[in-house]
Structure formats: C-alpha cells, structure tokens
Amino acid sequence: MTRARQGQRQVVLELARASRVYGRAGSTVPALRDVDLVVTDGEFLTIVGPSGSGKSTCLNLLGCLDAPSEGEVFLCGRATSRLAPEDRAALRRDHIGFVLQSPNLIARMSALQNVELPLVYRGVDRVTRRARAQETLRAVGLGSRLTHAPDELSGGQQQRVAIARAIVAEPRILIADEPTGALDTVNSAAILNLLHELNGALGLTIVMVTHDPSIAERSPRVCVFRDGRLVADEVRGRRAHAG
C-alpha cells in the first residue's frame, strides 16, 4: 500500500492499527490498542492524556524508538516494524530530531559544540558544521551565547540549545516529549512560541506530548489518549471522536 499523500499534503508519519503489548504470555500489559493515526507534512500535533494512557508509547512508536506488537508504523512512506534495529535507527536519524524534558547537554562543551555534535556523527566537515550550528543557534535566539557552557545558561536557554541540536541536521520531523515540563511559566511560553515559529517558518512537522492543558490549547491539533486508545482527535476547534 502506498502512503504518499492525504489530500494535498504528504503523509510523514502513520500508525495503522498499531498495538503495543509489554511482558510475556500470562503477564502482559497492553500499552497501546489498535491505534490509527496519520500525521501530514508541516503539522503541529499535540498528544495528551493521563499517566498510563499510552501517549508516551505512541510517541515512541512514531519516533521509531520502538516497534508495534501488531499493526504497522510508517515513516515517510516506509514500513518500519520489520526493519532491523540498525536500519530503523538509520531511518530515524535521517528524518527525526528529538527534544526531551531535560536538555541533556554535555557539560564540558559550549552551546556551539553541543549543537555541532549530530553533524560530527554524520561526518560533516568542521567548517560546514560550525557554520550550520551557528546559524541554527541564531535561529533559536542564542546567537550571542555560542561559547557559553550549559551551566552559564538559564533553563530556558539550555532547552533552546537542545532544540537547535535537534534541528541542526534539518530533520523533517521533530518529536518533543514534555519539552516544557521542567520550565517555569515564562520559559515554557517562550519555548512553545519557538516551536510554533519553527513549525511555521521551516514547515517542520512537530509531534509533542504534554500534560499541560494550557499548552495543548495552543496546538492546531490535539490527540487525546485514554487506556491505550486514541479517543479524540481535535483539529482547530473541531473535535472528531475516535470510534
């Protein structure tokens, strides 16, 4: 089956009747149950739900960090569930950037060196990666903090560095797992504004998990999970309940 376009927009992520069960026979936990979900190029999608609802499991499947027990996950049209782990990792590296609740910056490296790191792993030459890292840090508002170490930056600035590191290789998709969860209200709003700016200016597809209703309210699309199921999919005030 070809999964190339939905309407005029290209499908970049899809769960097709995807389920994820943990454990062994006789002692299993169904974390995700028969979920259908399509994400198109340039969307900003927020996933919400109570603890244990399946939202993190869904994010792991969409990010190709895990494979479904049943069903399929498509990344840019390619079925991923039966790929070898190293092939899935390569596909993930080529298309997806990740931002977590903690910035996880390397303390001994400057902001610029932290952002350069993904390009080092890709074998990009020093001059090119330095220029691209500088440009990306300027894009997230840290052009004057290039040489600062993580402990010389505020929490919000550290998260901006983490976002720059996630997008410096120009991924098509950004997976953000509670990116504002460790920040105060002011910095949370600033990081959310930045993500929306990147979504609009770069056409970057963003899939974000949050527990904060005020953050979810600003998302153009919200998917609600409960008991491992997608129970509602709301787009711009129009709510479509999953069957």
Question: Domain segments of the chain: what residues?
Answer: 5-241
From 100, 99, 126, select the one nearest 113 (Cα to Cα).
Answer: 126
Cα separation, 39 vs 206, in Å, equals 9
Q: Give per-residue pLDDT as tens, 85-107.
A: 999 999 999 999 999 999 999 99
Report helix, strand or coil for 203: coil
From 48, 57, 34, 43, select the one nearest 13 (Cα to Cα).
Answer: 43
Q: Give the pLDDT band (50/70/90) at residue 241.
A: very low
| Average predicted confidence (pLDDT) for the chain | 92
pLDDT for res 214: 87
Report helix, strand or coil for 162: helix
Q: Which CATH class is domain 5-241?
A: alpha beta
Cα separation, 206 vs 174, in Å, equals 5
Q: Give per-residue pLDDT as tens, 121-135.
A: 999 999 999 999 999
Report helix, strand or coil for 233: strand
